[in-house]
Structure 1
Amino acid sequence: MNKFMREISTLPRDARDTLFLLIVIALIVLPQAENLPWWCSAITAMVLVYRGTLAIEARPLPGKWARVGLLVLTLAATYATHRTLLGRDAGVTLVVILLALKTLELRARRDAFVLFFLGFFAMLTNFFYSQSLITAFTMLLALLGLLTALVNAHMPVGKPPLMLAARTASWMALLGAPIMLALFLLFPRFAPLWGTPADAMAGRTGLSNTMRVGTIAELALDDRIAARIKFENDRVPPQSQLYFRGPVLAQFDGREWTALPSWLRGAPASGNLRTSGQPVRYEITLEPSHRPWLLTLDAAQSPPEVPGFEVLGTPDLQWLANRPITDLVRYRAESHTQFESGPTRRTPALRTYLALPPGTNPRTAALAAEMRAQPALANADAQAFVRAALQRLRTGGYTYTLEPGIYGNDTADEFWFDRKEGFCEHIASAFVVLMRGLGVPARIVTGYQGGELNSVDNFWVLRQSDAHAWAEVWQEGVGWMRVDPTGAVAPGRVGQFQRLVPQPGLFAGAIGTLSPTLAQNVRAAWEAVNNGWNQWVLNYTQSRQLNLLKSIGFQAPSLEDLAYVLLYLLVGASLAGAGWAMWERSQHDPWLRLLAQARARLAKAGLKVPETAPPRQMAAQAEARFGPAAQAVRDWLLKLEAQRYAETSPASLAALRSEFRRLNWPAPNPKR
Structure 2
Amino acid sequence: MTLRARLDALPRDTRDTLFLLAVVAWVIAPHASHLPWWTLGLALCLLVWRGLLAWRAQPLPGRWVMGALLLLAVGATWLTHHSLVGRDPGVTLVVLLLALKTLEMRARRDALVVFFLAFFTLLSHFFHSQSLPIAAALLIALLGLLTAVVNAHLPVGRPPLSASARIAAKLVLWGTPVMLVLFVLFPRMAPLWGLPGDDLAGRSGLSPDMTVGEVARLALDDSVALRVRFDAPQPPRSALYFRGPVLSVFDGRQWREAPRFNPDTWEADEQTAQLQVNGPAISYEATLEPHRRRWLLTLDAAETAPELPGQRARMTPQLQWLSQRPVTDVLRYRAQSHVDFQHGPLQARPSLAAYTVLPDGSDPRTVALAAQMRTNLGTAQRAGDAAAANAALVEAALARLRTGGYRYTLEPGVIAAHTADDFWFDSKQGFCEHIASAFVVLMRALDIPARIVTGYQGGEVNPVDGYWTVRNSDAHAWAEVWLAGRGWVRVDPTTAVAPGRTSELQRLAPPRGAFGQAMDSVIAPGLVQQLRAAWEAMNNGWNQWVLNYTQTRQSDLLRQLGLSSPSWQTLLQWLAGLAGVAALAVCAWLWRARRAPADGWQRLRRQAHARLQQAGLTLPAHAPPRTMASLASAQWGDDAAAIADWLLRLERQRYAGPAADAHPAQHLSELRREFKSLTWPRAGRPQDP
TM above 0.5: yes
- Equivalent position SS for 1:226: strand
Q: How does 1:134-283 map to 2 (within 5 A)?
A: 134-191=133-190, 193-198=194-199, 200=201, 206-214=205-213, 221-233=220-232, 235-263=233-261, 267=269, 270-283=272-285
Q: How does 1:59-458 map to 2 (within 5 A)?
A: 59-191=58-190, 193-198=194-199, 200=201, 206-214=205-213, 221-233=220-232, 235-263=233-261, 267=269, 270-375=272-377, 379=381, 381-458=389-466
Against the structure 1 CA distance between its residues 377 and 271, is the aligned structure 2 distance closer, same or farther, given a 3 Å change threshold?
farther
Answer whether contact 1:217 1:406 (CA < 8 A) is retained: no
Against the structure 1 CA distance between its residues 395 and 522, is the aligned structure 2 distance closer, same or farther, given a 3 Å change threshold?
same
Answer whether contact 1:152 1:165 (CA < 8 A) is retained: yes
Against the structure 1 CA distance between its residues 553 and 517, is the aligned structure 2 distance closer, same or farther, given a 3 Å change threshold?
closer
TM-score of the two chains, using structure 2 as the length reference = 0.80
Structure 1 unmatched ranges of 5 or more: 591-641, 648-672
- Equivalent position SS for 1:270: coil
- Equivalent position SS for 1:470: strand
Q: Distance in 1 between matches of 2:514 and 2:528?
A: 12
- Equivalent position SS for 1:250: strand
**Deviation at 1:12?**
0.9
Q: What amino acid maps onto 2:554 in structure 1?
A: Q
Q: What amino acid maps onto 1:328 in structure 2?
A: V
Against the structure 1 CA distance between its residues 398 and 78, is the aligned structure 2 distance closer, same or farther, given a 3 Å change threshold?
farther
Q: What amino acid maps onto 2:421 in structure 1?
A: D
Provide Cα deviations, 1:294-331, integer angstroms capped at 9, x if missing partner.
11111111111122221111222111111111121222
Against the structure 1 CA distance between its residues 309 and 300, is the aligned structure 2 distance closer, same or farther, given a 3 Å change threshold?
same
Answer whether contact 1:400 1:489 (CA < 8 A) is retained: yes
Q: Distance in 1 between matches of 2:70 and 2:598?
A: 56
Provide Cα deviations, 1:23-43, integer angstroms capped at 9, x if missing partner.
111211222211121222222
Q: Distance in 2 between matches of 1:143 and 1:245?
A: 42
Q: What amino acid maps onto 1:355 in structure 2?
A: V
Provide Cα deviations, 1:597-639, integer angstroms capped at 9, x if missing partner.
xxxxxxxxxxxxxxxxxxxxxxxxxxxxxxxxxxxxxxxxxxx
Give the % identical residues.
Answer: 56
Q: Distance in 2 between matches of 1:562 and 1:268?
A: 46
**Which residue in 2 is equivalent to 1:55?**
54
**Which residue in 2 is equivalent to 1:608?**
none
- Equivalent position SS for 2:101: helix
Aligned match of 2:487 in 479, 491, 496? 479
Answer whether contact 1:27 1:142 (CA < 8 A) is retained: yes
Q: What amino acid maps onto 1:425 in structure 2?
A: E
TM-score of the two chains, using structure 1 as the length reference = 0.82
**Which residue in 2 is equivalent to 1:565?**
574
Q: Distance in 2 between matches of 1:516 and 1:37?
A: 38
Answer whether contact 1:268 1:313 (CA < 8 A) is retained: no
- Equivalent position SS for 1:84: coil
Q: Distance in 2 between matches of 1:9 and 1:397?
A: 72
Against the structure 1 CA distance between its residues 406 and 578, is the aligned structure 2 distance closer, same or farther, given a 3 Å change threshold?
farther
Against the structure 1 CA distance between its residues 396 and 66, is the aligned structure 2 distance closer, same or farther, given a 3 Å change threshold?
farther
Against the structure 1 CA distance between its residues 164 and 205, is the aligned structure 2 distance closer, same or farther, given a 3 Å change threshold?
closer
- Equivalent position SS for 1:33: helix
Q: What amino acid maps onto 1:245 in structure 2?
A: R
Q: Distance in 1 between matches of 2:330 and 2:540?
A: 11
Q: How does 1:529-568 map to 2 (within 5 A)?
A: 529-568=538-577
**Which residue in 1 is equivalent to 2:45?**
46
- Equivalent position SS for 2:228: strand
Provide Cα deviations, 1:406-455, integer angstroms capped at 9, x if missing partner.
53443223222333332222221121111111111111111100101111
Q: What amino acid maps onto 1:251 in structure 2?
A: V
Q: What amino acid maps onto 1:72 in structure 2?
A: L
Answer whether contact 1:105 1:111 (CA < 8 A) is retained: yes
**Deviation at 1:246?**
0.9
Q: What amino acid maps onto 1:521 in structure 2?
A: Q
**Deviation at 1:141?**
0.8
Q: Distance in 1 between matches of 2:506 and 2:216?
A: 23
**Deviation at 1:506?**
10
- Equivalent position SS for 2:341: strand
**Deviation at 1:400?**
2.4
Q: Distance in 2 between matches of 1:45 and 1:219?
A: 34
Q: Distance in 1 between matches of 2:270 and 2:592?
A: 68
| Aligned residue pair count | 593
Answer whether contact 2:43 2:99 (CA < 8 A) is retained: yes
**Deviation at 1:268?**
7.9
Cα RMSD, aligned residues only: 2.9
